[in-house]
Amino acid sequence: MRHWPLFALRLTTPRLELRLPDLDDLDALADRAAEGVHDSDAMPFGVPWTDAPPHERARSTVQFHFRQWGAWSPGDWSCCFVTVWEGQVVGMQAMSAVDFAVTREISTGSWLGQRFQGRGIGTEMRAAVLHLAFAGLGARYARSSAFTDNPRSLAVSRKLGYRDDGLSVHTRRGEAVLQQRLRLSREEWTAPGGFGIHGLEPCLPLFGIDAPDGLTGAGRVP
């Protein structure tokens, strides 16, 4: 689409491709949500959308992406990629920001179909959007968070170099629960090998910037 170049944006890693979904991708992602994302006795999300029956999880997954597209503005955006592994849509990796042109700070969130977990895909897809943020957009900081009883998510963040950034209290299923905040600076980030960013330049105005700050060429950190 000439007026929505984000659909041509691609992130590639040694094993994965991340892209904004087309309608077939959304159907496949909805299938992953219906199949299951986590054990029934766990709740890794602040909004417990996975408590819904499978068909409602599938429909809400599609609607969520439609809402993100419609609400996008250069000052407040959420870029929600599908993650493709061995030709299959296996999960979703999001990167969002408010006033990115000023703050140069992004936050991330993700989920992965339960039957695809335990293969390192979650770490690799997070690393892909960090590469986009730091090498492609010139971000200074990346933020993440996870409930303290979600060791897998916390392990992904710490493996990628995030540092603890304090605790906050949230309500989950009617009970108080602690959430661990985490932060990664551009200086502490390690650029990965074999990662690519494709089709970014036409998208830059939609991210609120004309050119990556402090970069010496497309996708290269000085």
At residue 23, the pLDDT reads 96
Token pair of 164 as six digits: 């603890």
In sequence order, what are the beta bridge partners of 108? 95
Beta strand 163-172 pairing with 141-147: unpaired
Answer whether 135's CB lies under 8 Å from 219's CB: yes
At residue 152, the pLDDT reads 86
At residue 195, the pLDDT reads 97
d(CA 61, CA 105): 26
d(CA 156, CA 120): 9
pLDDT band, very low/low/confident/very high, at 212 (cuts 50, 70, 90): low
Answer whether 190's CB lies under 8 Å from 183's CB: no
Answer whether 106's CB lies under 8 Å from 95's CB: yes
Residue of 194 and 48 predicted with greater confidence: 194
Beta strand 16-19 pairing with 76-85: antiparallel
Predicted structure pTM score: 0.91
Residue of 44 and 81 predicted with greater confidence: 81
